[in-house]
């Protein structure tokens, strides 16, 4: 994988600076939006299976709450650090505003490698971390959700831990939970589904059919696998995918439903019948029409941006493209649907889940899909119009929309005290 570790917080602040400049934003509002409202750093002492004690470090950053309670995922990964979590929290703020959700942005992370932990250890980390966050999370305060290496079972443990601490069931404290404890239909594949809707919209605007388009997807986890499945269902030809172990290609198109079946059994894409292996760099720069980075940040950089062959990039991951790479891609007229728009399907259905939990009334899957599509298509149209009006990239347009909405809320609320 292309890895020059670029500081994501510097990247997020540079994107904010550019949006503020284009919007001629009041400098005092810009100053306020540069900083997270609240950061909690916690030590998580955990008894390991061999009887020893290990202390893990965790964070929760609430970047902004001017539009509503904070919202954002929890990441379990060895490379988590405070700057990464803060950048991800900032991106959540703009993302929620772009799709007009009544939320601010937050993010959480624990420095750990889940592939080296037993289920029991993972559960104990999750429960102690959740307890440490008790002061600042809750349905009206801050609502976590899954992110890299966290899933519905982990959200179930978080919901249970918070409920135990409060003394009553609090389903609305996290989203992305199993259905049985207040989860929503359509949440598991919502981010991938949203990525596919946005891909379809870009193709429609550019007059390039998605039907038959060759697509490469980096990352085959929650976002990547569902994005690949939905794009495959819409007629796109997924020719390459990769995960942390490497990549696979088949110029005739991979049978994505069968690949998902293999991954559910073997946990690996490698060795898929009819495919040849490729590395992650080849995945990014190999032949395709549409590239969907859906793994981690800083993958498309100044080093590889010129070699990318796709004419459309749809960001499933958060922050996969560095600002230097953005400049190169823009010059090359590559159309890039940015993360804060393209992967907003997940937080949108998380919002539906929260609303359903608060009402204790649950919707059918068709209703969720159609509401998700309406929100994604409307947001896409607004970002597209903004980019046409101001002659800027879709990233700049999405940032301008998101930042302007948050700044307006901050201005209306005024400064306390
Ligand atoms: P996940 O843990 O389910 O999957 C991550 C995938 O990336 C896995 O297939 C993993 O093998 C792969 N990967 C990890 N390191 C890699 C590397 N070095 N090279 C290639 N592949 C690598 O995580 P996810 O939830 O799918 O999240 C992926 C991205 O999407 C992250 O940037 C996340 O912040 C973002 N995102 C997730 C959601 C969500 O609802 N889960 C919503 C919006 C954005």
pLDDT of residue 2 exceeding 70: no
Tell me which of 74, 113, 148, 270 to substitute to probe ligand 1's pocket, judged by most ligand atoms within 8 Å of the beta carbon.
148
Q: What's the rounded mean pLDDT across residues 233-252?
A: 97
Q: Considering the domain 190-342 in this protein, what is its CATH number?
A: 3.40.50.720
pTM: 0.96
Residue owning the nearest CA to atom 15 of ligand 1:
244
Q: How confident is the model at residue 241 (pLDDT cuts 50, 70, 90)?
A: very high
Mean pLDDT over each residue of the chain, to the nearest integer: 97
* Res 381 pLDDT > 50: yes
The pLDDT score that the predictor gives to residue 6 is 82
pLDDT digits (tens, 9 = 90+) for 397-407: 999 999 999 99
d(CA 143, CA 134): 11
Q: What is the mean pLDDT of residues 55-83?
A: 98
Query: What pLDDT is stored for residue 63 in this prediction?
Result: 98
The answer to whether 128 and 375 are in contact (CB under 8 A) is no
Q: Which of 221, 256, 352 to mutate to test the pocket of ligand 1 (most atoms within 8 A of CB)?
A: 221
Tell me the C-alpha distance between 228 and 209, whole Å.
16
Residue 276: strand, helix, or coil? strand
Quick one: average pLDDT of 288-301? Answer: 96
Q: Ligand 1 centroid to 360 CA: how many Å?
A: 31
Q: What distance in Å separates the CA atoms of residue 35 and residue 20, rounded to the nearest whole number?
A: 14
Please state, in angstroms and rounded to a whole number, the distance separating the CA atoms of residues 313 and 216. 10
Give the HSE-up count for residue 330: Cα atoms under 13 Å, Cβ half-sphere.
15
Q: Measured between alpha carbons, how far is 291 from 315 in angstroms, rounded to an integer? A: 8
Q: Distance from the CA of 316 to the center of ligand 1, in angstroms?
A: 8
The secondary structure of 161-204 as a DSSP string is HHHHHHTS--GGG-SS--GGGT--TT-TTHHHHHHHHHHHHHHH
Fold matches, 32-173 and 190-342 = yes
Give me the pLDDT at residue 4, please: 52
Distances (CA, A) of 98 to 192, 201, 361: 18, 16, 26
Rounded to an integer, the average pLDDT of 266-275 is 95
Peptide bond before 64: cis, by omega within 30 degrees of 0?
no
Q: Find the 415 Cα to ligand 1 centroid distance in Å.
A: 37
> Are 143 and 350 within 8 A, CB to CB?
yes
Ligand 1, atom 23, lies closest to the CA of 148
CATH 3.30.70.20 is the classification of domain 32-173: no
Tokens of residue 283, six digits:
């995945």
Atom of ligand 1 nearest to the CA of 346: 40
Q: Could you tell me the residue ranges of all domains in the chain?
A: 32-173, 190-342
Give the torsion through C-alpha atoms of 217, 219, 225, 229, to 10 deg. 0
Return the CA Rg of the chain: 20
Instruction: Give per-residue pLDDT as tens, 86-139.
Output: 999 999 999 999 999 999 999 999 999 999 999 999 999 999 999 999 999 999
Residues near ligand 1 (Cβ within 6 A): 1, 146-149, 191, 218-224, 242-244, 280, 294-296, 316-318, 343, 346
Phi, psi of 169 (to 5 degrees): -75, 130
Which residues, listed in sequence order, are joined to residue 75 by a DSSP beta bridge? Answer: 109
Which of 74, 107, 122, 191 to probe ligand 1 with, by most ligand atoms within 8 A of CB? Answer: 191
Nearest one of 122, 101, 118 to 110, comparing CA atoms? 122
The CA-based diameter of the chain, rounded to the nearest angstrom, is: 65
Q: Ligand 1 centroid vs 188 CA: distance in angstroms?
A: 13
pLDDT given at position 400? 98
Nearest CA owner, ligand 1 atom 36: 317
Q: Round to whole Å and give the CA distance between 393 and 387.
A: 6
Q: Tell me how far apart the alpha carbons of residues 185 and 43 are, in angstroms, rounded to a whole number.
A: 34
pLDDT the model gives residue 329 = 98
The partner residues of 53 in beta bridges, in order of sequence, read 47
> Band of the pLDDT at 5, cuts 50, 70, 90?
low
d(C-alpha 214, C-alpha 181), whole Å? 39
Looking at the CA of residue 316, tell me the nearest atom of ligand 1.
Answer: 30
- Please give the average per-residue pLDDT across 266-273, as a whole number: 95
Mean pLDDT value across residues 257-262: 98
Average pLDDT estimate for 71-95: 98
**pLDDT tens digits for 320-366?**
999 999 999 999 999 999 999 999 999 999 999 999 999 999 999 99
Catalytic residue ranges? 107
Torsions phi, psi of 308, nearest 5?
-70, 130
Kindly report the protein residue whose alpha carbon is nearest to atom 30 of ligand 1. 317
174-208 per-position pLDDT tens digit: 999 999 999 999 999 999 999 999 999 999 999 99
Residues 69 and 143: beta-carbon distance below 8 Å:
yes
- 398: CA distance to ligand 1 center in Å? 22
Q: Are 295 and 317 a contacting pair, CB within 8 Å?
A: yes
Report the percentage of the chain scoring pLDDT > 90. Answer: 98
- Residue 417, judged by CB atoms within 10 A of its CB (0-12, 13-18, 19+), counts as exposed
Per-residue pLDDT tens over the stretch 161-176: 999 999 999 999 999 9
d(C-alpha 364, C-alpha 370), whole Å: 10
């Amino acid at each position: 994988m292309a890895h020059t570790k670029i500081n994501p917080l510097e990247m997020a602040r540079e994107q904010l600076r550019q949006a503020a400049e284009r919007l001629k934003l009041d400098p005092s509002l810009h100053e306020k939006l540069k900083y997270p409202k609240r950061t909690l750093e916690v030590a998580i002492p955990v008894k390991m299976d061999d009887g020893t004690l290990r202390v893990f470090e965790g964070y929760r950053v609430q970047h902004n709450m001017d539009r509503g309670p904070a919202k954002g995922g929890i990441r379990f990964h060895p490379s988590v650090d405070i700057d990464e979590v803060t950048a991800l929290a900032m991106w959540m703020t703009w993302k929620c505003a772009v799709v007009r959700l009544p939320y601010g942005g937050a993010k959480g992370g624990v420095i750990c490698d889940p592939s080296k932990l037993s289920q029991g250890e993972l559960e104990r980390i999750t429960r102690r971390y959740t307890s440490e966050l008790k002061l600042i999370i809750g349905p009206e305060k801050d609502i976590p959700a899954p992110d890299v290496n966290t899933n519905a079972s982990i959200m179930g443990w978080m919901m249970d831990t918070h409920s135990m601490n409060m003394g009553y069931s609090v389903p609305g404290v996290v989203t992305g939970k199993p259905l049985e404890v207040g989860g929503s239909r359509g949440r598991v594949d919502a981010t991938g589904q949203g990525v596919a809707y946005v891909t379809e919209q870009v193709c429609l605007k550019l007059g390039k059919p998605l039907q038959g388009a060759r697509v490469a997807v980096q990352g085959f986890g929650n976002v990547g696998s569902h994005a690949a499945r939905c794009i495959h269902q819409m007629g796109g030809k997924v020719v390459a995918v990769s995960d942390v172990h490497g990549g696979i290609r088949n110029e005739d198109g991979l049978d994505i439903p069968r690949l998902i079946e293999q991954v559910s059994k073997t946990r690996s894409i490698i060795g898929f019948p009819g495919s040849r292996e490729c590395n992650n760099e080849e995945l990014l720069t190999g032949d395709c029409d549409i590239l969907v980075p859906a793994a981690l940040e800083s993958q498309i950089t100044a080093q590889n941006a010129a070699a990318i062959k796709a004419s459309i990039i749809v960001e499933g991951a958060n922050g996969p493209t560095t600002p230097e790479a953005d400049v190169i891609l823009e010059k090359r007229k590559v159309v890039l649907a940015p993360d804060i728009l393209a992967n907003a399907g997940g937080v949108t259905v998380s919002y539906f889940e929260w609303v359903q939990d608060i009402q204790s009334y649950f919707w059918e899957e068709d209703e969720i899909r159609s509401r998700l599509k309406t929100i994604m298509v409307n947001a896409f149209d607004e970002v597209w119009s903004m980019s046409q009006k101001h002659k800027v990239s879709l990233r700049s347009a999405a940032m301008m929309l998101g930042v302007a909405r948050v700044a307006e809320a901050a201005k209306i609320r005024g400064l306390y005290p």
